[in-house]
Chains A and B, each alone.
Chain A
Amino acid sequence: MKKQKTILVILLLILGQFIAGCQQGQQRQEATDLLSDSFRDGDLRLNDAMIKEMISSVPNPLEITSILQRTGVVYSQDLLNPAGNVNDYNTNFQRALNLGVYGTDLIYMNIYERTVATLRYLSNLRELASDLRVEQFFDYTTLNRLSESSKNVDSVLYITNTGFDKMSRYLIDQERSHIAILISAGTWIESLYIATHAPTTAANKETINKRIGEQKKVLDNLLLLMNSYGQNSNFDELIKDLMTVKKEFDNVTITYQYAEPSIIESDGTLVVVDNSRSIVDISDETVKNIASAIAVVRNKVIE
């Protein structure tokens, strides 16, 4: 009799399995339908080869941040996107932008050798990357270990930069260039935000302002890249926001004085002596306006 009871229990369990199995089956059906779905997003865009060529025109945040550091601008933690915000990014759009933002923050911190503080940013980077399914480009374990000492700054920067590089190329190859563009956009927005909000002194103000002004050309390229995704509402909004920044940049004039470069060669190294000059004309007012305009965009991005 007890045997019967046990068998009954097992039977009930098996029955339960099938009921649950059916429910899951439904969901699976829905998912497999996607396989034969003919929908494709982003039909209208630059071709991938062009994007690949263009995308590197968004500067590496390392450049601007190292200029800040070199010219004696002090480090400011307040400029960073708070690490805890990572949990709020749920869509690929948000994740991609903020992957760029956190990437810039990470580089900024490393340039200033705030290595230990980077640990949480590293884990954010990993989290976002894995949500975007591009986790293979960050060797988190190694980065984490390296970040324990400021002696490894160069290595961390190298790994991070090559990682971003590869990731961006991979995304374009995978026909996910919009993610790559958003990551680049995030990097740039955060770089500009840091550059415009870093506390400058009279001594370095001019240099910094010049570098800010030079971003005019970069923004043009970035907008060009982004415009190819114009039919997406999220993109549209971001473009609209960036246009306000662009409007401020319109007050910047850059004049180029081109001259033939001369070349000196020594020990197998070719040193180019660039005789050209670019003159950036940017007023304090404009810098201020750019700063407030980019802050609006940036705060919306990291929100």
Chain B
Amino acid sequence: MSEEILKALMQLFAIIARQDVGLSHGERGFVESFLKQQLSESSVNEYLRLFDGYIEQEVKTREEKPGSEVRLTSVKDSVKILGIAKKINRTLTQKQKVVVLVRLFELMNSDQNFTSQRMAIIDTTAEVFNINKQEYRAISSFVIRNKSEELDIPEILISQSQPNKNTNSRFIHSPQLNGRIIILRVKSVDLYFFKYSGHTELFINGLPLKANRIYNFANGSVVKQPMGKSIFYTDIAAKFISDSAESNVYFKVENVSHTFTNGCKGLENINLQEISGKMVAIMGSSGSGKTTLLNVLSGVENPTQGKVIINDINLHSDKEKIKGIIGYIPQDDLLIEELTVYENLFYSTMLVFRDHTSMQIAEKVDKMLTSLGLLYIKELKVGNPMNKKISGGQRKRLNIGLELIREPSVLFIDEPTSGLSSRDSENVIELLRELTLRGKLIFVVIHQPSSEIFKMFDKVVILDEGGVQIYYGNPVEAAIYFKKIDNQINSDVGECPKCGNVNPEAIFNIIESQIVDEYGKSTGFRKVQPLEWARYFKNFHRPESPIEKKVDLPGTLMKQGWWRQVNIYFRRDISSKLANKQYILLNLLEAPILAFLLAYIIRYIDDPASGVYIFRENANIMPYLFMCTIVALFTGLIVSAEEIYKDRKILKRESFLNLSRSSYLLSKVSILFMISAMQAILFIWVGNSILGIKGMYFEYWLIFFSVAALANIMGLNISSAFNSAVTIYIIIPFLIIPQMVLTGALFSFDRINYNLGGGREKVPVIAEIMPSRWAFEALAVNQFMNNDYEKHFYELRKMESAFNFKNVYYIPELKGYVETYKSKFLAGDTNPLAEADITLLQNEISKENNSFYAEHHQIFFDDVSRISPENFNMETAEEIFLYFAQLENFYRESFNRVNGHIDRQISEMVSTPEMRKEYQQWFDKHYNSPLAAFAKNTFAPLPLVRLGNKLVQKIDPVYLDPSNQKLLGFRSHFMAPNKNLAGKLIPTFYFNIAIIWFFTVIAYFALYFDILKKMLLLFERKDGKMQTSINKNGKTTDTRLRFINSTENEKILLNTN
């Protein structure tokens, strides 16, 4: 009770008490005991003093005007009361006002002194409080009357041992109760008041109850009597809520069996039938298949035999038809720990009610939080179980609320009470009990329930090892049934006659009791095997006559608003990320700090004496480009690697919501892309600035971002496929290391294993599938070609390089073959040139005939067919010689021309000392010599090599366009400036980025169809050792352990025999 109410009450009490006869001893006693009931000892005294103070004031005012009329004073009091009541009106809620009114009645009732003045005051108060007349009358009769016949109004519920004679009031029969319990419902504010007249010692919420005192019977309260059934809030609510939903769900389970992929029996011939408004417990020792049953019943898993029918619809074969009416609350926590209680519920609700406005949803959420009793903590972050912000019970209730808010008709809950205190457990079950009032059918897997909880179920299903159904029926009867079979004394009594407890433990003790040897030691053998129990049950159980009732199913959820789903997912994820300050800070700082460390470390001055940093001389630019690629991969993977894994439980729940996976993925992907784009900006900005890489920020960013984006999706793939965080982090090196090795930066493609395609003309196939190789190549080629300096000369130098290569290496090499032929021929060798060499000549000469330059030089070797092993002769050799001489001439002249042209350009640029200085600065700032050496492969051991019957250029790859003109001949040598696509040359920078995005799209589809996970499952299934049921992930080790234990037991037994 709040301070305001107490203060208001003290004041009102004081006024009423002073009326007419003045403060009676009884009244003060009431006030004191009332306060004691509400407050701690010290506060009691404080408020008592406050009360006494008000009384004294009253007395004083009276003494000041000794001769005044009593009637007059009363009017004055009325005015005063009006004042107080108005003040109260402003500060108190309607609920609190009702409480105040009830207390006022109670005060008067304490000495049965109902003078007209007092009644007038209360009337006034009620009027000011705006309490409706009927309810006011109900309150008044509830407080004042005690006899059952006087209380025959619909607002009242009576519980007594005598039979009910009233027609209007509601009734609960309590055969062992002395006196009666009277309960009032104030409908407008949804409050219940409770009062008892009798001599039985009752407990309300565990506290002893005083006769004739009025108690607020709050949501979830329970009144216990020493014998007989407790009265729960829900029982009472059920009596009042007459408009409770009709049973419209008919749930039937027929001969359901389930066998795991490894051949173990999970469920054996389960039969159930239930209708709406029931709460059914599923019990059994651990490993008896409770969760499996829940999974099968909820449609998560398909049974191997039998069927589950909801209103004539097969749950498993016609899933689509009943999607949305089933709710599943797994044992795990489904909360997003960074979000508040409210937000958790809010976003979840939004996903369900996609056609509602935010306002409507907020309203719904508030209502739900109220009924969950969580409204007062709605702004708290939920935190995680290790770092508790809200209690376990609150968490559980919120978890249930997530599912409840969409009002599924059938609800499956896995161990809602595990890990909760008994009080929290009762609260949770109480909440569920309340739901059945609204027509829900609820299945609860429960482990070791307390007697109270156990009794709250309508039915209980007991499973034994191997998923054998050994009981199905009333929980209290279950105790009797098993005791009877076990031939126990008292077997016809279900519960302890004195305390009313039913001990579910006892049932399991009977079920699992073992044969005891002559020394009293248990032998490890069960007295009654599961199948035996099943037989007993079959004999005992009289199946209820089937309820055939065809009712339309409650409306299933709509599938609409894909964008809205994306939007909600997006907002939810964003707010959960923004709420995690550490995450935000780390993600924002990670990239720039890494960039700073990297760039600052490798920013060195080649000539320490000068002390001036010159970009051109920094030998670490190529490694920096490499690191950019790796950092992009790393940050991209790290940021995404746990994303889906973290959400997996929530996703499982949300799979019942008929939501689209693509909207979830798209929201994830876009958030991750945003983070990566941000990181890319920061990294490139810091790194490039420190190293003095001029311009090209966008190009760098684009590549960094593209790689990070791909890594994001790769990370999502693994986070979707693997089932533990450790596995995910073990996988990361597998994804990163090969990418590092095969970038072409650490190890030259010319020097990797020949079997993998090393040392060939083109990049090895194994490297082609490495995104890092495309990214690094794009970065390096771009940095080399498109820097402000090289840009001016690139095309010229490209030609210069081509002419030089032809002139210096290529034609002399070819000429060598012909020379050999000539000299050997002259020496009388019958086979002057190997066939392979002739083929090589033929290949290369036809290539030259078709080359880009041939149309300029117009030097053709007309009949290439003559250069064949059959036709080759001295004449051909001479002709080739001549042809080469012409080519050499052309290439020499062309080279000199281009070389001279470039030289003249540069000479002009440096014609004066100032210009020369300017040129030098321009050159120093934009061109990086070590990178150029890499791009031009200056350190190649051989400028050209022979591969088969082809000559392959190894130097100046960055000036060499790929030769393959075929449609899909996009593969090329490393560091090529352009790539071929459908016979067109496309700049490497764009082409490579397109390739990276192509990978990204593929990875996205793999993610969408969860291909990696499916492959893993296939692999595991083949392996046959692991239990593959994903839905049993938590239990896998459990069952295996059990298996091992049993084999070990067998071994031990064998040995003793």
A–B contact at 8 Å CB threshold (below):
yes
* Interface positions of A (Cβ within 8 A of B): 1-2, 6, 9-10, 13-14, 16-17, 20-21, 24, 27-28, 30-32, 34-37, 39-41, 84, 87-88, 90-93, 127, 130, 133, 135-136, 141, 174-176, 234
User: Chain A residues near B794 (CB, 8 Å)?
Assistant: 27
**Does B892 belong to the interface (CB within 8 Å)?**
yes
22 of the cross-chain contacts (CB-CB < 8 Å) are A2-B662, A6-B1004, A10-B994, A13-B993, A14-B990, A17-B986, A17-B991, A20-B990, A28-B795, A31-B795, A34-B894, A37-B901, A41-B896, A87-B616, A87-B924, A92-B903, A93-B903, A133-B895, A133-B899, A136-B808, A141-B939, A175-B892
| Complexed CA–CA distance, A20 and B900 (Å) | 27
| Complexed CA–CA distance, A39 and B896 (Å) | 11
The stretch that binds A, out of B237-245, B797-805, B864-872, is: B797-805
Do B894 and A35 have beta carbons less than 8 Å apart?
A: yes
**Contacts of B941-1000 to chain A: CB distance below 8 A:** 941, 943, 985-987, 989-991, 993-994, 997
8 closest A-B pairs by beta carbon, nearest first, are A17-B990, A27-B795, A31-B795, A92-B903, A35-B856, A91-B907, A28-B795, A133-B804
Do A17 and B799 have beta carbons less than 8 Å apart?
A: no
Do A2 and B666 have beta carbons less than 8 Å apart?
A: yes
**Does B190 belong to the interface (CB within 8 Å)?**
no
Do B986 and A21 have beta carbons less than 8 Å apart?
A: yes
**Contacts of B793-829 to chain A: CB distance below 8 A:** 794-796, 798-800, 804, 807-809
CB distance from B181 to the nearest CB of A (A): 61
Binding site of A, secondary structure by majority: helix, strand, loop or mixed?
Answer: helix
| Complexed CA–CA distance, A40 and B895 (Å) | 12
Partner of B798 from A31, A36, A40 at Cβ < 8 Å: A31
Do A90 and B800 have beta carbons less than 8 Å apart?
A: no
The stretch that binds A, out of B264-272, B441-449, B915-923, is: B915-923
Do A234 and B907 have beta carbons less than 8 Å apart?
A: yes
Partner of B987 from A21, A39, A174 at Cβ < 8 Å: A21
Partner of B906 from A14, A37, A90, A176 at Cβ < 8 Å: A90
**Does B893 belong to the interface (CB within 8 Å)?**
yes
User: Chain A residues near B798 (CB, 8 Å)?
Assistant: 31
Do B987 and A17 have beta carbons less than 8 Å apart?
A: yes
**Does B1016 belong to the interface (CB within 8 Å)?**
no
User: Chain A residues near B910 (CB, 8 Å)?
Assistant: 90-91
| Complexed CA–CA distance, A91 and B899 (Å) | 10
Do B856 and A32 have beta carbons less than 8 Å apart?
A: yes
* Interface positions of B (Cβ within 8 A of A): 562-563, 607, 610, 616-617, 662, 666, 794-796, 798-800, 804, 807-809, 853, 856, 892-901, 903, 906-907, 909-910, 916, 919-920, 923-924, 929, 938-939, 941, 943, 985-987, 989-991, 993-994, 997, 1001, 1004
Do A1 and B562 have beta carbons less than 8 Å apart?
A: yes
Partner of A91 from B799, B901, B903, B987 at Cβ < 8 Å: B903
Known contacts A21-B985, A27-B794; A90 and B607 CB within 8 A of each other: no
CB distance from A98 to the nearest CB of B (A): 14
| Complexed CA–CA distance, A20 and B897 (Å) | 27
Additional pairs, 15, CB under 8 Å, beyond known A17-B986, A174-B895, A176-B896 = A6-B1004, A17-B987, A20-B990, A21-B987, A24-B795, A27-B794, A30-B795, A31-B795, A35-B853, A39-B897, A90-B916, A91-B903, A91-B910, A93-B907, A136-B808
Partner of B897 from A16, A21, A37, A84 at Cβ < 8 Å: A37
CB distance from A26 to the nearest CB of B (A): 9
User: Chain A residues near B909 (CB, 8 Å)?
Assistant: 90
Do A130 and B938 have beta carbons less than 8 Å apart?
A: yes
Which of B856, B907, B939, B997 lies at the interface centre, i.e. has the most chain A CB atoms within 10 A of its CB?
Answer: B907
Which of B616, B800, B897 lies at the interface centre, i.e. has the most chain A CB atoms within 10 A of its CB?
Answer: B897
Partner of A35 from B897, B941, B993 at Cβ < 8 Å: B897
| Complexed CA–CA distance, A32 and B853 (Å) | 9
| Complexed CA–CA distance, A175 and B994 (Å) | 45
User: Chain A residues near B990 (CB, 8 Å)?
Assistant: 13-14, 16-17, 20
| Complexed CA–CA distance, A34 and B898 (Å) | 7
| Complexed CA–CA distance, A24 and B988 (Å) | 12
| Complexed CA–CA distance, A36 and B986 (Å) | 26
| Complexed CA–CA distance, A37 and B894 (Å) | 9
CB distance from B467 to the nearest CB of A (A): 43
| Complexed CA–CA distance, A210 and B991 (Å) | 67
Do A90 and B662 have beta carbons less than 8 Å apart?
A: no
Do B920 and A90 have beta carbons less than 8 Å apart?
A: yes
| Complexed CA–CA distance, A17 and B989 (Å) | 9
User: Chain A residues near B997 (CB, 8 Å)?
Assistant: 6, 9-10, 13
CB distance from B673 to the nearest CB of A (A): 11
Do A20 and B898 have beta carbons less than 8 Å apart?
A: no
Do B994 and A14 have beta carbons less than 8 Å apart?
A: yes
User: Chain B residues near A84 (CB, 8 Å)?
Assistant: 607, 610
CB distance from A118 to the nearest CB of B (A): 17
User: Chain B residues near A130 (CB, 8 Å)?
Assistant: 938
| A16: nearest chain-B partner, CB-CB | B990
| Complexed CA–CA distance, A127 and B927 (Å) | 15
User: Chain B residues near A88 (CB, 8 Å)?
Assistant: 920
| A135: nearest chain-B partner, CB-CB | B938
CB distance from A25 to the nearest CB of B (A): 9
User: Chain B residues near A9 (CB, 8 Å)?
Assistant: 997
| Complexed CA–CA distance, A176 and B990 (Å) | 39
Do A34 and B897 have beta carbons less than 8 Å apart?
A: yes
Which of A1, A84, A91 lies at the interface centre, i.e. has the most chain B CB atoms within 10 A of its CB?
Answer: A91
Partner of B856 from A21, A28, A36 at Cβ < 8 Å: A36
